[in-house]
């Protein structure tokens, strides 16, 4: 059973405080939008899909617990809450995308004949709940598409993967993106080994990915970020698979800082470099990576360790949380729930499959988070990898 970053039931939300891992597993209640914003900003919750899920579910919980509002008051509250949640962390696109889609949805609901505050409130809650279910299902598709693509590309031998940061159950609703590919390879019996970077300065790899790999009993080794190139040279790395916080129209990808240098090293060593991300992490309104706003984090994350100063006092600090990998370095492909695509194919592919899914599979999200993802008619699960 995978770890849970989020525990939700109607009217109740709790998040696993990832600042405490791996020393302590503590679920903390989130009673509303303000608490969700603070948890996301403090990185108790992190990972682009999880940020959007917690943000939207926090709104659902607050609506469920709140006193009844007039229709116009309710509409204003929902729209203002979503705009506020988007400010928590700017680089990850999932929250902004979910906020835009939910804002459009609630406006349409308010304009429907006979709409009441109660019906609008219920529609928003169900929308947020469906987002939770859909993320897990899409992650499983990403894992399977990526694993099958790697097995075909590297036939006849187990695959050794190097990954960066945390992209597993702790960064999503469940299963994971890049770590989901690794999990699928392991389930197929085709995974030889995983090398995970520590991911300084926040150590998401050492604290979180290593924790998940041990929990899942997946053969793995932790390395320092500065060891990645020599690991590619000496340890038989078959592929590098990372996640993404934002993928733009030309395929440029923003991910945890350190990803760019991994892509350069992989290109030098002739190792395919993959990005695994749901379509919700794709921002096709931005043409190229130069337009992505890169979040800068507090300097203490670099100078301090567990609250103790380890750097010389008085030194300046530059601490971007993300970097941008140019599309030309993504040599393996971009793995989505629709399949695996070359960066230059992504925009057209997403436009095609998103249109097919919306026209052929309206509201196909299972209400059971443990349900198996099955093939659906009408092109909803195309084999494009």
Number of independent structural domains in the chain: 2
d(CA 218, CA 180): 12
pLDDT of 345 strictly over 50: yes
Q: DSSP for 64-95, please give it.
A: HHSPP--HHHHHHHHHHHHHHHHTS-SS-HHH
pLDDT of 274 strictly over 50: yes
Express each pLDDT in 12-32 by its tens digit: 999 999 999 999 999 999 999
Partnered with residue 336 across adjacent β-strands are: 339
- If asked whether residues 243 and 320 sit together in one domain, one would say yes
Q: What is the residue-averaged pLDDT of the chain?
A: 91
d(CA 256, CA 269): 21
Helices (H), 7-116: 33-41, 48-65, 71-86, 93-111
- If asked whether residues 272 and 331 sit together in one domain, one would say yes
- If asked whether residues 225 and 163 sit together in one domain, one would say yes
| CA 357 to chain centroid | 21
**Which residues form the domain of 89?**
6-134
Instruction: Give the model's confidence band at 371: pLDDT under 50 very low, under 70 low, under 90 confident, else very high.
Output: very low
Segment (H or E) for 262: helix 259-269
Peptide bond just before 201 cis, omega within 30 deg: yes
Helices (H), 288-344: 300-303
pLDDT of 369 strictly over 90: no
- If asked whether residues 129 and 166 sit together in one domain, one would say no
Q: Which residues are catalytic?
A: 245
Lowest mean pLDDT among 68-77, 246-255, 256-265: 68-77
Instruction: Give the model's confidence band at 198: pLDDT under 50 very low, under 70 low, under 90 confident, else very high.
Output: very high
- If asked whether residues 272 and 346 sit together in one domain, one would say yes
Q: Strands 308-309, 191-197: parallel, antiparallel or unpaired by DSSP?
A: unpaired
Express each pLDDT in 322-342 by its tens digit: 999 999 999 999 999 999 999
Asked, for residue 362, whether it belongs to a domain, the answer is: no
- If asked whether residues 189 and 159 sit together in one domain, one would say yes
């Amino acid at each position: 059973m995978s770890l849970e970053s989020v525990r939700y039931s109607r009217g109740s939300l709790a998040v696993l405080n990832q600042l405490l891992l791996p020393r302590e597993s503590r679920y903390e209640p989130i009673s509303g939008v303000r608490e969700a914003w603070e948890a996301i900003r403090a990185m108790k919750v992190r990972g682009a899909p999880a940020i959007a899920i917690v943000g939207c579910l926090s709104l659902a919980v607050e609506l469920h617990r709140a006193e009844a509002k007039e229709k116009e008051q309710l509409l204003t509250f929902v729209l203002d809450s979503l705009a506020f949640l988007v400010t928590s962390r700017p680089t990850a696109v999932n929250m902004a995308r979910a906020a835009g889609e939910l804002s459009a949805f609630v406006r349409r609901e308010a304009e429907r004949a006979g709409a009441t505050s109660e019906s609008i409130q219920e529609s928003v809650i169900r929308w947020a709940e469906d987002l939770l279910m859909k993320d897990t299902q899409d992650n499983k598709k990403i894992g399977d598409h990526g694993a099958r693509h790697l097995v075909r590309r590297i036939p006849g031998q187990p695959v050794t993967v190097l990954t960066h940061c945390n992209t597993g159950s702790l960064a999503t609703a469940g299963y994971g993106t890049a770590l989901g590919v690794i999990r699928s390879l392991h389930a197929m019996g085709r995974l030889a080994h995983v090398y995970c970077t520590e991911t300084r300065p926040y150590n998401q790899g050492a604290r979180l990915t290593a924790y998940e790999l041990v929990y899942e009993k997946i053969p793995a080794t932790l390395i320092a970020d500065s060891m990645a190139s020599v690991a590619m040279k000496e340890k038989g790395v078959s592929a590098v698979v990372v996640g993404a916080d934002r993928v733009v129209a030309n395929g440029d990808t923003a991910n945890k800082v350190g990803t760019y240098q991994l892509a350069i090293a992989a290109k030098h060593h002739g190792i395919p470099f993959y990005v695994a991300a749901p379509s919700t992490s794709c921002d096709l309104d931005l043409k190229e990576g130069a337009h992505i706003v890169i979040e800068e984090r507090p300097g203490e994350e670099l100078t301090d360790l567990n609250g103790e100063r380890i750097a010389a006092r008085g030194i300046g600090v530059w601490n971007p949380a993300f970097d941008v990998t140019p599309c030309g370095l993504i040599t393996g492909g971009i793995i989505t729930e629709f399949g695996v695509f070359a960066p230059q194919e992504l925009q057209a592919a997403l436009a095609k499959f998103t249109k097919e899914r919306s026209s052929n599979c309206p509201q196909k999200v299972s209400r059971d988070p443990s349900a198996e993802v099955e093939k659906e008619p009408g092109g909803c699960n195309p084999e494009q990898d």
